[in-house]
Amino acid sequence: MPRRTDEQGELIKGNTPTLILAVLAEGPSHGYAIAREIGRRSEDALKMGEGALYPALRALEGDEMIESRWETPGTGPARKVYALTETGRAELARRARSWQRFSAAVDAVLGGLTPDNDLPDIQPA
């Protein structure tokens, strides 16, 4: 697995709430499962640590985009389960539209360049 770059870390940090909302759109989940699902969907390109995940969950709950409840499974300790609210669902839709516009704009600027293409020679200033 490739090492995460600083740029990737900043992109993840800025988009953590959106990633969480997207996972919760599929149904309620606890923190560890949310992080694991983000990793699974991104083929482990996006790793979500506790230091980013739980503050984002608290902020989303404070903004009433998600709600939580304690659940006691048949075995093991109680865990906090998070669910998307209608406010969160609307915010996710807004963020998805915004991301699509942003992504299309960046793609337009890149002009079809991919990491595997030969990049034009750029002369240092």
Residue 77's domain comprises 6-100
Q: Is residue 124 part of a domain?
A: no
Partners of 84 in the β-ladder: 66
Q: Is residue 94 part of a domain?
A: yes
Question: Do residues 82 and 66 lie in contact, with contact meaning Cβ atoms separated by under 8 Å?
Answer: yes
CATH code where residue 80 lies: 1.10.10.10
Sign, Cα dihedral of 24, 102, 5, 61:
negative
Q: Is residue 41 part of a domain?
A: yes
Instruction: Report the domain count for the chain.
Output: 1
Question: What element of type H or E holds 100?
Answer: helix 86-110
pLDDT of residue 106: 87
3-state secondary structure (DSSP) of residue 44: coil
- Which token pair is 19? 């990633």
Question: Do residues 20 and 60 lie in contact, with contact meaning Cβ atoms separated by under 8 Å?
Answer: yes
| Higher pLDDT, residue 77 or 25 | 25
Mean pLDDT across the chain, nearest whole number?
A: 86
3-state secondary structure (DSSP) of residue 82: strand
pLDDT of residue 1: 44
**Out of 20-29, 38-47, 62-71, which region has the weakest mean confidence (pLDDT)?**
38-47
| Higher pLDDT, residue 14 or 41 | 41
Candidates 52, 61, 51, 55; CA nearest to 81 is 61
Q: Is residue 118 part of a domain?
A: no
Question: Do residues 28 and 68 lie in contact, with contact meaning Cβ atoms separated by under 8 Å?
Answer: no
Q: Is residue 85 part of a domain?
A: yes
CA-to-CA dists, residue 19 to 10, 34, 117, angstroms: 14, 9, 29
Q: What pLDDT band is residue 49 in, cutting at 50, 70 and 90?
A: confident
Is the pLDDT at 98 greater than 80, yes or no? yes
